[in-house]
Amino acid sequence: MGVSLSPASSSTVPARRVPALRPLAVASLVVNILIVVTGGVVRLTGSGLGCPTWPRCTEQSFTPHGEMGIHAVIEFGNRMVTFLIAAVAIATLLAAWRSGRPGMTRLAALLAAGVPAQAVIGGITVLTGLNPWTVSFHLLVSMAMICLAVALVRRVGEPDGEANAVVAPAVTWLTWAVFAAGWAVIYLGTVVTGSGPHAGDAEAPRNGLDPRTVSQLHTDLVFLLLGLTIATVLVLRAVEAPAQARRAAATLLAVELAQGVIGFVQYFTGLPVVLVALHLLGAAVLAALMTWLLLSVRERREPRGRRDGTERRGPREPLLSA
């Protein structure tokens, strides 16, 4: 017999107001962006193998010893952020479950499940000596968790009815194209990093690709993303889309332009650590905003059959609309 995370199995479930749910959802987003930044600090300071094994920091201890130096402290600090994320994820899941809203409970459960998954991937990354492809996958999973956290933040403020588009299907597909191009840009960014000098440790391998070639491909995709986003901004204005969708597209475009400037400057100045860290933070914000845009071109209404604080449960919905 399977175990359901839904708070009830009957055709109706009580919908409760849980004041802590919104702050916890926002906290989930913040901590998942935070670990992207702290992970970047680990790599940029050459601290990736400061704790040379996993789950212990050394073969004898879970914590670093004083003689291990600053690199061990930085790496161990990043590992501790995982416990912060786990605490927020558990609290968010409990609050979502108490709310009696299955859609939010599913999203919160996925975020909670991502924490141990990321811990294992991080451990494999250390045990493989910072293999660049494993490092890339580790970052991409964090970006996916940021997208899920955005979906949860959005879901908290919505009714529980079915999600319906507020723009024409062609416009919806345009926002999906932006989302897909954004993910391609983020992925190629990790490949560029895997070919560059910031390996996380002096002895860590590189992916063997030519940095100039993959940087050019990454730049080409950035221009594609900019073009699609500009088109989205113009189309949303032309069709008089809701203000929230137009704001989401305009904000995304502003972040993309800032990211482009940082990317060009860091490339032509020899990849200074501060600019690379800012670029990494920008990538996390980019993942959040392109998800927000995708969710801003549809809306939910109160479900039929809501009576006295209960809701009729319908079929499962797509992940980003959960």
**DSSP assigned state of 204:** -
CB atoms within 10 A of CB 254: 12
Give the model's pLDDT for residue 152.
95
- Tell me the C-alpha to C-alpha distance, in Å, between residue 196 and each of 13, 23, 62, 159, 270: 53, 38, 31, 46, 10
User: Could you tell me which residues come within 8 angstroms of residue 287 by beta carbon, excluding any fewer than 6 positions away?
Assistant: 143, 146, 147, 182, 186
**Run of H or E including 218:** helix 211-238
Residues 275-309: pLDDT tens digits?
988 999 999 999 999 999 999 999 887 766 554 44
pLDDT of residue 169: 94
Are 112 and 20 spatial neighbours (Cβ–Cβ below 8 Å)?
A: no
Per the CB < 8 A criterion, the answer to whether 205 and 129 are in contact is yes
Residue 303 in contact with residue 311, Cβ under 8 Å? yes
Q: What tokens were used for 39?
A: 């992970």
Specify the residue for token string 């730049």: 219
DSSP percent split of the chain into helix, strand, coil, nearest 5: 65, 5, 30
Q: What is the pLDDT of residue 100?
A: 87
Bridge partner list, 163: 300
Mode of pairing for the β-strands spanning 310-312 and 163-165 = unpaired
Q: Looking at the predicted structure, is the pLDDT value of residue 148 above 70?
A: yes
Rounded Cα–Cα distance for residues 187 and 136 (Å): 8
- Residue range 223-275, pLDDT digits in tens: 999 999 999 999 999 999 999 999 999 999 999 999 999 998 988 888 888 89
12-24 pLDDT tens trace: 444 567 788 999 9
Please tell me the distance from the alpha carbon of residue 4 to that of residue 8, in angstroms, as a whole number.
8
User: At 13, which helix (H) or strand (E)?
Assistant: strand 12-14
Q: How confident is the model at residue 73 (pLDDT cuts 50, 70, 90)?
A: confident
79, pLDDT greater than 70: yes
Length in residues, the chain? 322
CA 96, CA 90: separation in Å to the nearest integer? 10
pLDDT digits (tens, 9 = 90+) for 172-203: 999 999 999 999 999 999 999 888 787 666 67
Q: Are 86 and 109 in contact, with CB atoms under 8 Å apart? A: no
pLDDT at residue 161 greater than cutoff 90: no
What DSSP string describes 237-305?
HHTT--HHHHHHHHHHHHHHHHHHHHHHHHHHTT--HHHHHHHHHHHHHHHHHHHHHHHHTEEE-PPTT
Is residue 97 within 8 Å of residue 61, measured between CB atoms?
no
Q: What one-letter code names the amino acid at 241?
A: A
Give residue-wise pLDDT tens across range 101-136. 888 899 999 999 999 999 899 889 888 888 889 999
- In sequence order, which residues have a C-beta less than 8 Å from that of residue 168 and are 6 or more positions away? 239
Residue identified by tokens 């204005």 is 237
Domain positions in the chain are: 17-157, 162-302
Residue 52 to residue 27: CA distance in whole angstroms: 30
Kindly report the backbone phi and psi dihedral angles of residue 237, in degrees, each rounded to the nearest multiple of 5, phi listed first.
Answer: -70, -40
